[in-house]
Amino acid sequence: MRRTIQWTVVLLTLGVIFSGCETKTTNIDIDNDKGEAVMALDYRDFQGAATDMIESLLASGAVDKKDGTRYVLVVSRIINDTMQHVDTDQLVKKIRVGLLQSGKVVVTTAVGIDGAEDKMSMKTREELRGNVEFDQKTVAGKGSMVAPDLSLSGKILQRNIRVDKKTQRVEYYFQMSLTDIKTGLAYWEDERIVAKRGSNKSVAW
């Protein structure tokens, strides 16, 4: 019995010691994050790359329409060619939001490389047309969808470079292109590089 009590005391003591060493969870002010940089991509990298791309695209005049109306944009394939499991929507969504807020572009979700992003546009047409339970005047008619004018595509690349025995450099290349669908010509292209230097022991994926 005494030995059992002793082991219990030891385990409780160890539990208190280890729990005291744990890092506390805190909220991050994403607009003023002073946290240390990491070798992998984080939200700050995507935010910075997206902001730069939006500013570059708007400054280029590629989305300025002479009549003041807005271009219809469709998002093509954004390739992740890094060693990380990156959701490219982290980059694309920020760019889309920025372009929409500019008032110069609208985005279609009715068409995409892997099918419609929002399948409801077509689903409602298929299920509601001719359905007597719905007022047909409120159902979208044929020929009412708007085809895209421009296509946004891109790629994220990663390059690891050994600097010396203790140091490595990791470079991330954010590449984007805006193509006129009618002509197939790229009206705008840009590249932003995020470079990081750190310990060889750090994992970049």
| CA-based end-to-end distance of the chain | 50
| The predicted structure's pLDDT at residue 39 | 85
The mean pLDDT of 6-34, rounded to a whole number, is 61
Strands 105-107 and 150-162, by their bridges, are: unpaired
Q: How confident is the model at residue 13 (pLDDT cuts 50, 70, 90)?
A: low
**Whole-angstrom distance, CA of residue 119 vs CA of residue 106:** 18
Pairing of strands 150-162, 167-180: antiparallel
Question: Is the pLDDT at 6 greater than 70, yes or no?
Answer: no
Per-residue pLDDT tens for 116-169?
999 999 999 999 999 999 999 999 999 999 999 999 999 999 999 888 888 999
DSSP state of 22: S
Q: In the prediction, which pLDDT does 70 show?
A: 96
pLDDT in tens, 40-73: 898 899 999 999 999 999 999 999 999 999 999 9
At residue 52, the pLDDT reads: 96
Q: pLDDT band for 38, please (50, 70, 90 cuts).
A: confident
Q: How far is CA 73 from the centre of its chain?
A: 16
* Distances from the Cα of 17 to the Cα of 25, 59, 109, 176, angstroms: 18, 56, 53, 50
- Give the C-alpha distances (Å, rounded to integers) separating 87 from 24, 64, 90, 118: 27, 29, 6, 18
Please work out, in degrees rounded to the nearest 5, the angle formed at the alpha carbon of residue 77 by the alpha carbons of 74 and 58: 50
Alpha-helix runs per DSSP H in the chain: 2-21, 43-60, 89-102, 120-128
- Judged on CB neighbours under 10 Å (0-12, 13-18, 19+), 203 is exposed
State the CATH architecture for 38-61+69-121+145-205: 3-Layer(aba) Sandwich (3.40)
Q: Is 55 helix (H, G, I), strand (E, B) or coil?
A: helix
In angstroms, what CA-CA distances link 105 with 76, 143, 194? 15, 21, 27
Of the CA atoms within 13 Å of residue 60, those in its CB half-sphere come to: 16
